Amino acid sequence: DQQVKQNSPSLSVQEGRISILNCDYTNSMFDYFLWYKKYPAEGPTFLISISSIKDKNEDGRFTVFLNKSAKHLSLHIVPSQPGDSAVYFCAATDTVNTGNQFYFGTGTSLTVIP
Amino acid sequence: DTGVSQDPRHKITKRGQNVTFRCDPISEHNRLYWYRQTLGQGPEFLTYFQNEAQLEKSRLLSDRFSAERPKGSFSTLEIQRTEQGDSAMYLCASSRPFIKEETQYFGPGTRLLVL
């Protein structure tokens, strides 16, 4: 029962262009969402988060959008840089009932082509 | 602040052997988590500690798995009688106390290969 889904296993984008990574979830109780970035042989690194009371959060080149009615969030990276090439994981949690357990998607491997 | 550290980074063992992994969280973090990640999957929650108390355990944590955090600082995860299906990356994460929407910070992981 995969509660968080990333349906695109991979994405290739030209340097300087926008990268859009998508994530869908099924549990309507999820109220806090995060994106992590992972390089090979390293643990996931926190990138950006968003609370369910917001629909957008921006941090430099990274913006996360949340559409609660569609149970969908996306990560926009603009402009994309070669150093952004990594696997990106979407995570979600229900802070009220199971606030200590993060549910992760299967990841999207982003390649930024110079 | 040196981040979450895990030891060893890699472990190769034969089926049936016991293995133990260690995690040292960020010093001011009182919450500690263990996750397991297999190839092509995202991290899956195993268990969670607040200080020394183990408060949640996933159904993924079979009887062969045991985790401890005796003094509320570092934690150990032991797998007894390892099976080939235990081969995975074992990730530890920590977070600060009393924060509702709190980020978990991950260590580099211990990659286990059971032959």
How high does pLDDT run on average in chain B?
A: 92
Please list the alpha-helical segments (H only) found in A40-83.
Answer: none
Instruction: Spell out which residues of chain A touch residue B47, defining contact as CB-CB under 8 Å.
Output: none
At A37-72, the pLDDT tens digits run 999 888 999 999 999 999 999 999 999 999 999 999
CB contact (8 A) between residue A99 and residue B41 = no
Residue type, A75: L
Q: How far is B53 from chain A (nearest CA, A)?
A: 13
Residue type, B14: K
Mean pLDDT of B12-32: 95
Residues 6 or more apart whose CB falls under 8 angstroms from that of B53 comprise none
Query: Is the confidence at residue B96, as pLDDT, over 70?
Result: yes
Q: Which of B31, B43, B101 sits opposite A32 (nearest CB)?
A: B101
pLDDT at A108: 97
